[in-house]
A and B are shown apart, each in its own frame.
Chain A
Amino acid sequence: MKQLAALAWKEWHEVRIYLWIALGVFVGLPVIGMLEAKYQHVGGRYEISASPWVLIFGGVLAVFVAVGATCRDFSGRLEDFWRSRPLNVGRWLLVKYFVGLAVVLASCVLPLVVELCIDKQKQALLFAVWFPFMWAAAYSLGFLSGCLLRRTAHAAMLALAGMLLVWFLPLVLPPLQWMSLTVITSYYLPALQWPDVFDARFVQFAAGMAAVAVLMAIVSIQIARRGWRIEAGPKMMYGSVSAALLILFASAAFQLGTNLPVLQQVDLPQMDSPSRIASSRLRCVGQRGFIMAEYFPDTPQLQIGQVKFKLRTFDLTPSGIKLESTIREVTDSLFWGYQGAVWAPNDLGIGYVVDNMGGDGRDEYMLRAVSLETEAKGEPQFLWEQSDTHSKPIPYGFAVYVRRNRLYVISSHLVVLDISQPLKPRIISNTPFSWPDVPGSPEYQDMDRLVFTLPQVADLSPAERLEATMGSASYINLHSFDGEYLCIADGDVLVAYRLTDLNGITATFKKIGQYEPTILEDVFGLNPYGQMTVQNGLVYAQFYGRSAGVNSSISVFDLRSNPTLRLVGHFSAPGAEVVQPLPDGRAIVGGSKLWLIGPPPKRNPD
């Protein structure tokens, strides 16, 4: 016991300097910040913010303490001296390990305790309870590195590279996300709530980090006992650090990047001057399709009218996409921006849009038929007039539905039109219609069950009523429905439902899963969801790249997998903003070019 105490005393005297330095940095600097804030904002409360310092530099401190403790006694003649003593190497190392670890934990936890005592916010409690496991893992890595290399600078570099992997690999590799730091940092703890502090996810994180720490400590002691060492040189140092960085980069890149095979890439027509090209609309019916491309001139300040819209049709052949040579500039703004258009089933470019053409507190609803292919417009058809819409809002907005040569406009009126001549729709009937209210925009991620009341249109079957309800339902957030699966974007969360009951009056959906964008997607500046299409049990969701140079991307999720919404494919390319899945599993993506991409590589049939 005396021997152990003497060893502990010796270790303490050697490592305590780190404690004083760490307290100086982790407490001293925040105190200076607090005093500065106090003098700048008279009357404010004293608050100390030690956690940013501790979270950023705690791991580095752990590595330095561990490497210093091991390399000091394992270098040169000191090692011979220690090995000549009547001392068990394992015990000696254990004492060294625990004294160093105690110094690291005290250095990191004490500032957090000070913050907890002074601050109103209790977020630091989570860090003080759970981050010690992570610092222990970093400390053990440093200890192992020191035992193995026995040269301070090299061991520290190697340990820091290892620490980078332990910290950031769980961020980029989904199977390891339970060990990610963000499990702790993303949790908001406004007040002292002990049940929240001991959440199962935190215990899981701590168990993972503790396992790393214990494993590294055992390996270190074995290495020291057997006298193993690696001759460290610049080759190993450069190699290990860059390997760690490349692993992180590759993991991040392949998680966000492209894994869908590009079967064909087709250039879109160029303008005379350099332009950024984006695709705003893509449609494919059978073997024919069209792409509408927007051309943004390469000028610092975009003027109105400078954006050009060009339409190009294509044929889809077994060998790929074949663009037709005709390029038509679409000059009429009427054809540019309709997102809610309903397309004629067999005519490629003919769409129908309901517009409010009224004014002066009077709403006058008209139907427009437009042909994108020829830029032809049908005569607007008056549907109905409604005044005082603020006090009596139209409950479902508009549902516009096409079945063969009939067009149904369902709202406060039910208007049925004959569209056997697509650009000359003819009203067959127009009657006042009642469609019960639906709840506004609920938090879909909290709703396990969705029930839609269907419009009672005698001509339509229950499935068609549901299709009409979903088709252009402006009251639901961005969504897509393929007859069985319904996906809805609720903020950043993608929520998936499956149809469980359909009768003539209601349709019931059961929630089957949800997807939340990863931290990596956020870090790389990808905004969910620009567009969404469900087909063949897959959902194609578009992420818009908001940061300069970051490509937009299409992510493909499997709705039939277990768990639901498993990411099975992704495709990134400049301006990849519109997607049209094809029945055979391939998909056409429109952006600065047109891409034909193959089906996702992995797929669970059921």
Chain B
Amino acid sequence: MRQLIWKEWHEQSWRLGFGCLVLGAMALIGLHARILNDNAMMMWVCFIGITLLPVLSITGLLPAERNEGTFESLLALPVAPWKILAAKTVMGLVLCAGPMVAAAVISLLAAGGREMLDQDILHLYADSTLSAISLLLWMMALTSRLPSEARAGLLASGILILWILATAGLAYPSVPPLARAISPLVFVYQFSGDHMGPLLPEWVNLLVAAVIAIVLWVWTAKRLTGAVEGES
């Protein structure tokens, strides 16, 4: 398992560096220049993180292996397939969370306590990281059998757009609060308004997200074979 994680780290660490650099630079430039107020600027950084990081991560994990033809070799190793998926999942989590953590640290250093309290900044980034990770698991489950990075990227973008639209739909007052919790964007979407009714406590959202994540992961692990979608 450690060797699998080392392999993933060796292959994907540049993506982590890239994500940290882009998000960190955006946060630093934006917060230093102060064109936008700190809250708006950090929300932009989080928005970019939520939309880009899961797509960037997912294309480099399973579809990249299939594209290069190395996935069959990986399955032929004397390792259970779920362990391969676990290593890739850990790397995916690091790819999503790492740049968010970097951006949060830079935001705290550049603007902590300036317009927002430190705990509010941390809360914003933590919520965004949770949403990015939830999206990652959805994307991983649905793109695990795709043969190329390009197709995985397109489908992941589609999933992202679908969830953005669906979450907006779930924001209707008549939708029961528990139904909103199935959206990966529940942590960052502003479900507020006069007719929205009571919001669920954060732990309920977390619980629902955890259950969905486990179900998606188990489903992905069961489908993790050499078969590729679109091929008979």
Listed in ascending order, the chain A residues whose CB lies under 8 Å from chain B are 234-235, 238-239, 242, 246, 249-250, 252-254, 256-258, 265, 524, 548-551, 553, 572-574, 592
- Distance (Å) between the CB of A223 and the closest chain B CB? 26
Instruction: State whether A253 touches B33 (Cβ < 8 A).
Output: yes
Given contacts A549-B36, A551-B35, are A239 and B18 in contact (CB under 8 A)?
yes
Q: Give Cα distance in the complex from A582 to B4, angstroms.
A: 64
Listed in ascending order, the chain B residues whose CB lies under 8 Å from chain A are 14, 18, 21-22, 25-26, 29-30, 32-37, 39-41, 56, 60, 114-115, 149
Q: Give Cα distance in the complex from A293 to B26, angstroms.
A: 32
Given contacts A250-B29, A265-B114, are A242 and B22 in contact (CB under 8 A)?
yes
Number of inter-chain CB pairs below 8 Å? 60
- Distance (Å) between the CB of A587 and the closest chain B CB? 16
Residue of B nearest to A552 (CB): B37
Q: Give Cα distance in the complex from A257 to B36, angstroms.
A: 9
Query: Which residues of the partner chain B approach A524 to less than 8 Å between Cβ atoms?
Result: 35
Q: Give Cα distance in the complex from A486 to B141, angstroms.
A: 67
A-B contact pairs, 22 of them (CB 8 A): A235-B14, A238-B56, A246-B22, A246-B26, A249-B29, A249-B30, A253-B35, A254-B29, A257-B32, A257-B33, A257-B35, A258-B33, A258-B34, A548-B40, A549-B36, A549-B37, A549-B41, A550-B37, A551-B35, A572-B34, A574-B37, A574-B115
Instruction: State whether B18 touches A551 (Cβ < 8 A).
Output: no
- Distance (Å) between the CB of A525 and the closest chain B CB? 10
Query: Which residues of the partner chain B approach A242 to less than 8 Å between Cβ atoms?
Result: 18, 21-22
Query: Which residues of the partner chain B approach A265 to less than 8 Å between Cβ atoms?
Result: 114
- Distance (Å) between the CB of A602 and the closest chain B CB? 17
Q: Give Cα distance in the complex from A573 to B25, angstroms.
A: 20
Instruction: State whether A549 touches B34 (Cβ < 8 A).
Output: no
- Distance (Å) between the CB of A166 and the closest chain B CB? 21
Q: Give Cα distance in the complex from A553 to B26, angstroms.
A: 20
Q: Give Cα distance in the complex from A247 to B122, angstroms.
A: 27
Query: Which residues of the partner chain B approach A574 to less than 8 Å between Cβ atoms?
Result: 37, 115
Residue of B nearest to A257 (CB): B33
Q: Which of B30, B37, B39, B40 has the most CB of A within 10 A?
A: B37
Residue of A nearest to B64 (CB): A234
Query: Which residues of the partner chain B approach A252 to less than 8 Å between Cβ atoms?
Result: 35
Residue of B nearest to A576 (CB): B34
Q: Give Cα distance in the complex from A574 to B41, angstroms.
A: 12
Query: Which residues of the partner chain B approach A257 to less than 8 Å between Cβ atoms?
Result: 32-35
Query: Which residues of the partner chain B approach A239 to less than 8 Å between Cβ atoms?
Result: 18
Q: Give Cα distance in the complex from A239 to B14, angstroms.
A: 10
Instruction: State whether B115 touches A572 (Cβ < 8 A).
Output: no
- Distance (Å) between the CB of B46 and the closest chain A CB? 13
Instruction: State whether B26 touches A258 (Cβ < 8 A).
Output: no
Query: Which residues of the partner chain A approach B26 to less than 8 Å between Cβ atoms?
Result: 246, 249
Instruction: State whether B18 touches A238 (Cβ < 8 A).
Output: yes
Q: Give Cα distance in the complex from A246 to B34, angstroms.
A: 16
Residue of A nearest to B150 (CB): A153
Q: Give Cα distance in the complex from A524 to B37, angstroms.
A: 13
Instruction: State whether B32 touches A258 (Cβ < 8 A).
Output: yes
- Distance (Å) between the CB of B96 and the closest chain A CB? 16
Given contacts A238-B18, A246-B22, are A253 and B30 in contact (CB under 8 A)?
yes
Query: Which residues of the partner chain A approach B36 to less than 8 Å between Cβ atoms?
Result: 549-551
Query: Which residues of the partner chain B approach A572 to less than 8 Å between Cβ atoms?
Result: 33-35
Q: Give Cα distance in the complex from A51 to B33, angstroms.
A: 36
- Distance (Å) between the CB of A430 and the closest chain B CB? 51
Instruction: State whether B35 touches A550 (Cβ < 8 A).
Output: yes
5 further interface pairs, Cβ-Cβ under 8 Å (given A257-B35, A572-B34) = A246-B22, A246-B25, A254-B33, A549-B37, A549-B41
Query: Which residues of the partner chain A approach B114 to less than 8 Å between Cβ atoms?
Result: 265
Query: Which residues of the partner chain B approach A249 to less than 8 Å between Cβ atoms?
Result: 26, 29-30
Residue of A nearest to B38 (CB): A574
Q: Give Cα distance in the complex from A572 to B33, angstroms.
A: 7
Q: Give Cα distance in the complex from A60 to B40, angstroms.
A: 32
- Distance (Å) between the CB of A174 and the closest chain B CB? 16
Q: Give Cα distance in the complex from A592 to B115, angstroms.
A: 9
Q: Give Cα distance in the complex from A250 to B27, angstroms.
A: 11
- Distance (Å) between the CB of A240 and the closest chain B CB? 12
Residue of A nearest to B52 (CB): A242
Residue of B nearest to A249 (CB): B29
Q: Which of B34, B35, B41 has the most CB of A within 10 A?
A: B35
Query: Which residues of the partner chain B approach A246 to less than 8 Å between Cβ atoms?
Result: 22, 25-26, 29
Q: Which of B26, B36, B40 has the most CB of A within 10 A?
A: B36
Query: Which residues of the partner chain A approach B56 to less than 8 Å between Cβ atoms?
Result: 238
- Distance (Å) between the CB of A260 and the closest chain B CB? 11
Q: Which of B14, B18, B22, B33 has the most CB of A within 10 A?
A: B33
- Distance (Å) between the CB of B31 and the closest chain A CB? 10
- Distance (Å) between the CB of B192 and the closest chain A CB? 11
Residue of B nearest to A592 (CB): B115
Query: Which residues of the partner chain B approach A551 to less than 8 Å between Cβ atoms?
Result: 34-37
Q: Which of A254, A256, A549, A573 has the most CB of B within 10 A?
A: A549
Instruction: State whether B115 touches A256 (Cβ < 8 A).
Output: no
Residue of A nearest to B56 (CB): A238
Shortest Cβ-Cβ A-B pairs, 3 listed? A257-B33, A549-B40, A253-B33
Query: Which residues of the partner chain B approach A256 to less than 8 Å between Cβ atoms?
Result: 33, 35
Q: Give Cα distance in the complex from A119 to B14, angstroms.
A: 54
Query: Which residues of the partner chain B approach A548 to less than 8 Å between Cβ atoms?
Result: 40
